[in-house]
Structure 1
Amino acid sequence: MRARSRLRAGDALAVGTVGLRARRVRSTLSALGIAIAIAALVAVLGVAESSKQQLLDELGRQGNLLTVATGQTFDGRPTPLPITAQTMIARIPPVLATTAVGNVDGATVRRTDRIPPQNTNGINVLAAQASLPDTLSARVLRGSYFGPLAERYPETVLGYSAAQSLGIDRLTEQTQVFIAGRYFTVVGVLDQVGIAPEIDTAALISFGVADQLFGLGGVPTRIYVRVDPDHVPAVAAVLGPTASPENARDVQVQRPSDVLLARIKAKDAFVGLFLGLGAIALLVAGVGIANIMVISVLERRAEIGLRRALGARRRDVAAQFLLESALLAVIGGVAGIGLGVLATAVAAHTAGNPVAIPPQAPLAGLVAALLVGALAGLYPAARASRLPPADALRTL
């Protein structure tokens, strides 16, 4: 009896790589398409996760921060709170810390007195207390925050965006800005305060100087309240009546971390869009592999006929080309995962975010590449297996 031919796993792997090794340039270009698509998918997931992790870290630190304000006047200026509001709020047992800012109406900020008054760059002047950095977890990027002398002398600390708008990237003893007809010495620049963006676009001065020069009277327009994390809802419910017993309905109590949650949801929506684009790129790369494999079948008709004549079954020929297509996609997928991880690390380092890649992202990329490669190889493999040996051998 005639023995049935068998294709062992090792032989299948060796035969499946023949075409890849014989046509290296073509194989490399085909794998490159898969690599780019997989790299895009992994990078999108990685960058989004890194950014999301940064927001979640900030959310964890700032989730117990509340703000108290009373809205705005008809011309858009913040309305003041009662002068006793901060003292009363500080007496609530779960309140850990408070700080207040007061809006200085009509004060403009310019680099020098030579700049027209209309060019304010949208910078506001806020009176601030010494407790602001600790309460808001704000970091001083350059210089220092207010010292004891700031209550008597014209000193200012700029928010991150305000410093950029004024072109101040380093500080010296002569660094000054022109605020409401007087030069103020810039003693510090704050880093970005994501939980309180109004600080980023402000020039901060002390309440003492604001009272002397602008008649602020120590009246705050916004109070930041750091609360025991276990009592945030309870404290938020009583902040209005505590801050302004006579006009409790006019008091607006907000939780800035809600803004971070909205940003996370917005990022998730964009991630879905970019993943869709990446899937389209992966599909295009799969079509490219299918096209290359069809050409390979046509070029290797003699090889197929010789193998069939030596006893190879149709399934063996189909397995050869299917395995070749899958290997081509897997090679591209592995390279793409490496590129995606590298792109994520570079992007996270540039943005100052922690490097966070979802564990399922590399695995999903590899599975997607394998699936696309297998699907792309189905038609070429079926076509190769249906070639009659006699017809194929005529091409020798």
Structure 2
Amino acid sequence: MTREDTVRLTPLDLLGLGLLGLRTRKTRAALSALGISIGIATMIVVTAIPASSQAALMRELSALGTNTLQAVGTPNQDPPVLLPKESVGMVARIGPVTRVSAVANTHTLVRRSDRTDPQDGSGLTVLAARLDLLPAINARVHIGHWLTATTERFPTVVLGSVAATRLGIGDVPRSGPGPQVLIGRTWFTVIGILAATPLLPDIDRSVLVGWSAAGEHLNFDGHPTVLYVQSWEASVEAVRAVLPQTIYPEQPGQVQVSRPSDALAAKRATENAFSALFLGLAAVALLVGGIGVANTMVVSVLERRSEIGLRRALGATRSQIRGQFLTESVALATLGGIVGTALGVLAAAGYAAYHGWPVVVPLTSTVAGLAGAVLVGVLAGVYPSMRAARLTPTEALATA
């Protein structure tokens, strides 16, 4: 029976030997772990911070209405195409649709005073609006308040941002009578002004009256002009394909549906750009950390030749020497990976919170950081461990 057959080490013994070098050379181990920690922390940061920024950007783009479609009758038709009164309810029954509302052109003029030119409507459109319009177009009230179930039956209006400017109305009092505008032959009281809607400039140039009030005071016939449809973002194109048949089953060709907003295309392009950036920066960070560990382990072999020679003289086999240094390399890299992951998560969370972004730490990058640290430890320790195993006892002790 050979010596190699009699000398055996359990995995726990091998782990103890691998950690021995870290315990006896704490400063060197700390500095070596710092190198891999910086690499892994960099990987976490360069993936988490752009991911948080991306989430904030996606939230802003979604708020603009990237999942909103507009359906209108074919313009310039004689007679004009009238969408069915029941079209809103029919569209609401489409599975992926989350919201649907409508406005209708009343074909009346609005004036600030009865002394202005009766034919001058300042380029503004008077629209009958449903009460659920604002969430369907991602709009909000800037001053005053929106129509309610009570006020929409009376001659009250809400102005778009551009309409308010052109009519010279900049404020709405919280109490007391508000400013009035003349629509047709009826005076309407302004109760609110909308904030700007970047993706819907037509709303900015509109004067919005209640659906019931339009029927009573402006001879509105109840047929919607434009339908605003929100759906799950992944299903926007599918919903767009079925809207004409749903809105006007008899003449679907008379219905035009807008393409998804350019903001949706920008959003998807941004996602792809960020994904490519993540991969490139993560690869660089891991490469830097791996080079640092490999360099540390090579130096460790040179410094510990006497230890290697003594262990070989006492009966340690080449495989045990190789396993010892490989274990030390993996342990060193894993320690650095754990510390680096923690530092990276804390740094990314702090940076995102400072900028008011959602805190997003991709799970894949965290797992990849830890797994990458182990892999880097293995790769970085292969050459130094093989070099240590090749040293004979005489050679190691003679050059120590």
Structure 1 match to 2:30: 28
1:237 to 237, 244, 258: 244
For the Cα contact (< 8 Å) 1:325–1:374, is it kept in 2?
yes
Offset of 1:17 from its aligned partner? 1.8
Q: Distance in 2 between matches of 1:204 and 1:29?
A: 65
Q: What amino acid maps onto 1:184 in structure 2?
A: G
Structure 2 match to 1:270: 274
Offset of 1:36 from its aligned partner? 3.5
Q: 1:66 to 1:370 in 2, by over 3 A?
A: same
Q: Distance in 1 between matches of 2:375 and 2:157?
A: 67
The answer to whether structure 1 residue 254 and structure 2 residue 268 are counterparts is no
SS in 2 for 1:25: helix
For the Cα contact (< 8 Å) 1:126–1:202, is it kept in 2?
no
Q: 1:233 to 1:68 in 2, by over 3 A?
A: closer
Q: 1:19 to 1:199 in 2, by over 3 A?
A: farther
1:307 to 292, 308, 311: 311
Q: Distance in 1 between matches of 2:201 and 2:311?
A: 73
Which structure 2 residue ranges, 5 or more long, are not aligned? 106-123, 173-191, 211-217
Larger Rg: 2
Q: Distance in 1 between matches of 2:24 and 2:68?
A: 65
Q: 1:7 to 1:101 in 2, by over 3 A?
A: farther
Q: Distance in 2 between matches of 1:197 and 1:86?
A: 28
Structure 2 match to 1:183: 169
Q: What amino acid maps onto 2:394 in structure 1?
A: A
Q: What amino acid maps onto 2:254 in structure 1?
A: A
For the Cα contact (< 8 Å) 1:125–1:203, is it kept in 2?
no
Correspondences of 1:326-341 after superposition (within 5 Å): 326-341=330-345
For the Cα contact (< 8 Å) 1:42–1:362, is it kept in 2?
yes
Q: What amino acid maps onto 2:26 in structure 1?
A: R
For the Cα contact (< 8 Å) 1:329–1:372, is it kept in 2?
yes
1:17 to 9, 16, 19: 19
Q: Which moved more, 1:130-139 or 1:303-312?
A: 130-139
Q: 1:188 to 1:292 in 2, by over 3 A?
A: farther
Aligned length: 339
For the Cα contact (< 8 Å) 1:47–1:347, is it kept in 2?
no
Which structure 1 residue ranges, 5 or more long, are not aligned? 74-78, 103-123, 163-176, 210-215
Offset of 1:92 from its aligned partner? 3.6
C-alpha deviations, 1:162-192, integer Å up to 9, x for none?
9xxxxxxxxxxxxxx97126132276776x9
Offset of 1:374 from its aligned partner? 0.6
SS in 1 for 2:170: strand
Correspondences of 1:203-218 after superposition (within 5 Å): 203=204, 206-208=207-209
Q: Distance in 2 between matches of 1:280 and 1:30?
A: 18
SS in 1 for 2:258: strand
Q: 1:223 to 1:353 in 2, by over 3 A?
A: farther
State the identity %.
35
Q: Distance in 1 between matches of 2:303 and 2:126?
A: 76
Q: Which moved more, 1:372-381 or 1:265-274?
A: 265-274
Correspondences of 1:46-125 after superposition (within 5 Å): 48=51, 66-69=69-72, 84-85=82-83, 87=85, 89-90=87-88, 92=90, 94=93, 97-100=100-103
Offset of 1:252 from its aligned partner? 3.3
Q: 1:272 to 1:71 in 2, by over 3 A?
A: farther
Q: What amino acid maps onto 1:185 in structure 2?
A: D
Q: 1:241 to 1:155 in 2, by over 3 A?
A: closer
Q: What amino acid maps onto 1:89 in structure 2?
A: S
Offset of 1:20 from its aligned partner? 2.0
Offset of 1:91 from its aligned partner? 6.0
The answer to whether structure 1 residue 132 and structure 2 residue 133 are counterparts is yes
Q: 1:69 to 1:207 in 2, by over 3 A?
A: same
Offset of 1:332 from its aligned partner? 1.6
Q: 1:370 to 1:241 in 2, by over 3 A?
A: same
SS in 2 for 1:224: strand
Q: 1:282 to 1:226 in 2, by over 3 A?
A: closer
Q: Distance in 2 between matches of 1:362 and 1:246?
A: 51
Q: 1:369 to 1:85 in 2, by over 3 A?
A: same
Offset of 1:339 from its aligned partner? 3.5
Structure 2 match to 1:172: none
Q: What amino acid maps onto 1:90 in structure 2?
A: V
Structure 2 match to 1:393: 397
Q: Distance in 1 between matches of 2:395 and 2:142?
A: 77
TM-score, with structure 1 as normaliser? 0.63
Q: Which runs of 4+ in 1 moved over 6 A?
A: 52-56, 70-73, 124-128, 139-143, 148-154, 216-221, 227-231
Structure 2 match to 1:319: 323
